[in-house]
Amino acid sequence: MLVLLDENGLTSARRLCYLDRNITVEWCFRRVVVVVLTVLFFAKHIWIAAATQEMTLPLGMGFLLRRETMRRSHFPIIGILLVCGCASNAGLKAPHTLLFSPITPEYLQDTAQEWKATGYDGFLLANVMRNWSDDVWGTDSESRTRGDDDQTLQRVKCCNEECRAQGITQNFIKVAFYSHVPLWTDETSWQEINENFREAARFAKMSGCRGIALDIEYVGEQYDLDWDGYDYEGYTPAELRRAAVKRGRDLVAAMLQSYPDMVFLTLPEGIYFYGPLATDLLVGMVRGMGRAGAPGGIHLLTERSYQVVNTFGLIHYAHRLESDILAALDKSTASYWKRRCSIALGGWPLGYYREILDEEGNRLGYSGRAEEFGDRIVGSYADKSGNFSPEDFREQYAGLLLGSRKYCWIYGHGATWWHFTEADVARYGNVSNSTLPVDRQLDAYRAVVKEKWMSSDRMKNLGQRVRKHEGEAILQDLGFVGTFKVIGPFGSKGLDSFSHVFPPERETDFDGDYAGSVPHVRWRNVSADSVGYVDFRSHLSPSDWVCAYACCKVISPDSVSGQIRLGTNDTATLWLNGEKMLCKKVERSAVPDSDIVPVHLRKGENTILVKVCNTEYNWGLYLRITDEEGNALTKLTFWP
């Protein structure tokens, strides 16, 4: 996506003056009403007091009311007025912050006070019930103990009791689809899985956990209708999709039988990561919770937000994701989602790794930062340093807080938030990378969580509107380019499409017909959706390991400086009037304002060309043009 930035490179999240026009009008009106009512209230009683000579006016500089003048019954009214006045300027309530890491119940129990002081409200407890096929009561190697006598239950229960005493009330049992699940149409096998989750929910309730967290990511291929494991003997793709919906519905129904008011977390956002069966599974889960009227709701923990560090981009992403989920739900289920469910944005500040590839681009393994590890294969957990600075994490965390209603979360990538000594290992066991050194600025990252800074008032207002499902109207005024000429796909897997020069880079002939990934590719008009996203995948095929070009012409009545703000999935190359302004080879999700490029638009016609290369799955861009304050340049016109 393209967006224009100011000369200081400030993100739109910090510069959206349009919010002053669209939001603060309502805010100011509320404040004026409150002030007027307060003045009238006190004026009335001052007049009464003066009329009954119960008030003296010392030289016109003040007044003294006798205590009996102000009846006690008036104080609740005064309190309400004062609270309303303060509330209109108060910040949003921060959602609960969860940490997902391999922390043991014993270590959490002993350090609960420290974690609460850092700002954490709960944890996703791994290794209590690891896989969907596990019996939670057998974790202690003794499956016959299925209640209060179970050793694992006692460990978790003691941990939760201490956590609650310290104010940590949101612990969850984390379960995953680590191995392939049975065929979606296999009723018998899924009844056994439902029973496992029914017992997991019973365990969660008895141990004092708030609910269950389910990670569906490790069987991603099973969500594609063309997976090799589907032979379609005795069932059709449509029947498979209906079965996936039923699996989700029955799974939550089983858990609710044991724990009716449980909170259910699921991750990641399969609607973007995987094939249609992941969306069907989520639809079934929400439908099951809705039919039961479950008060805890279902909350979707995001992963595409991991490396996004601009506040506005995160709020925008939450809005877009929720809009797409609501579009997949029927009216009744969507109503339940709005009342009880939410997006829980996730961040990954600590725990760095990078791929090491051979000359042919094949992955050899993982290493840490080059300055520390060179290209040695050390694994993905060897480097506990930051993925971005504490300052960037502060911006990210503000977006997590503002874009999430009930929960936001931090992925720990092992024991990146703590360090074990030999004595700790003897007491708690060697957990993941716990004995490795932590980032030298760990205290600064901790301070960010403790502070819970929520950015500017403008961002708070935007976050509040998005939380209330009112974000779409505001987002329409941000200067997103609405329509592009698009051509593609070009390239194929094995070809470095990012570096390869395809015909649109040599000439811009909108009537041209070229050989691309398919024999004939031509320019076509593609419009952005309601949140400014241009989805290449919906218009171009094939969509994996290819690239496409988007072009628009901007007509300016005057010469003007501004910014182009761009977010792409994946790579980004940008030209303005034939001059290359940006060239970034990355693999990422498309998020507004990921790249901010200062530009100068000449009077008359300006041509913008963007090249976006994709690896797999989602493919598209955001592009908006703004002034140096982040406001849309309203005098611009566009072609097509």
> What are the DSSP calls for 175-229, one per residue?
EE--SPPPPTT-HHHHHHHHHHHHHHHHHHHHHT--EEEEE-GGGGGGGSTT-TT
Closest CA to 487 of 547, 569, 553: 547
CATH topology of domain 478-639: Jelly Rolls (2.60.120)
Please give the DSSP secondary-structure letter assigned to residue 156. H
pLDDT band of residue 212 (cuts 50, 70, 90) is: very high
Burial class (CB in 10 A: 0-12, 13-18, 19+), 511: exposed
**Whole-number average pLDDT of the chain:** 87
Give the per-residue pLDDT at 473.
63
Give the per-residue pLDDT at 431.
82
- Tokens 């911006």 locate to 395
- The Cα 271–Cα 269 span in angstroms is 5
Q: Give the dihedral of Cα atoms 549, 550, 553, 554; nearest 10 deg.
A: -130
- The Cα 612–Cα 1 span in angstroms is 10
Please write the tens of the pLDDT for every residue from 502-541.
999 999 899 999 999 999 999 999 999 888 999 999 999 9
Give the per-residue pLDDT at 494.
83
Give the per-residue pLDDT at 72.
41
Q: Which residues contact 622 (CB under 8 A, 6 or more apart)?
A: 1, 2, 3, 480, 528, 532, 533, 534, 565, 566, 567, 568, 590, 591, 592
Closest CA to 88 of 23, 133, 142: 23
Stretch among 275-279, 468-472, 545-549 having the lowest mean pLDDT: 468-472
Q: Is pLDDT of 87 > 90?
A: no
**Residue type, position 574, single letter:** L
Q: Which residues contact 419 (CB under 8 A, 6 or more apart)?
A: 434, 435, 436, 437, 438
597 DSSP β-pair partners:
4, 564
Give the per-residue pLDDT at 437.
96
* Mean pLDDT (whole number) for 182-202: 98
pLDDT band of residue 544 (cuts 50, 70, 90) is: very high
CA atoms within 13 A on the CB side of 383: 23
* Mean pLDDT (whole number) for 484-498: 94
Give the per-residue pLDDT at 617.
83
Please write the tens of the pLDDT for every residue from 279-335.
999 999 999 999 999 999 999 999 999 999 999 999 999 999 999 999 999 999 999
Give the per-residue pLDDT at 531.
84
| 638 and 556 Cβ atoms separated by less than 8 Å | no
* Mean pLDDT (whole number) for 354-370: 91
Give the per-residue pLDDT at 605.
97
Burial class (CB in 10 A: 0-12, 13-18, 19+), 417: buried
Please write the tens of the pLDDT for every residue from 374-415.
999 999 999 999 999 999 999 999 999 999 999 999 999 999
- Range with the largest mean pLDDT of 81-90, 125-134, 353-362: 125-134
Give the per-residue pLDDT at 50.
42
Please write the tens of the pLDDT for every residue from 280-291.
999 999 999 999
pLDDT band of residue 91 (cuts 50, 70, 90) is: low
Give the per-residue pLDDT at 45.
45
* Mean pLDDT (whole number) for 609-627: 94
Domain boundaries, the chain: 27-87, 96-351+386-475, 352-382, 478-639
Q: Is pLDDT of 19 > 70?
A: no
Give the per-residue pLDDT at 476.
61
CATH topology of domain 96-351+386-475: TIM Barrel (3.20.20)
| 179 and 219 Cβ atoms separated by less than 8 Å | yes
Q: Is pLDDT of 208 > 90?
A: yes
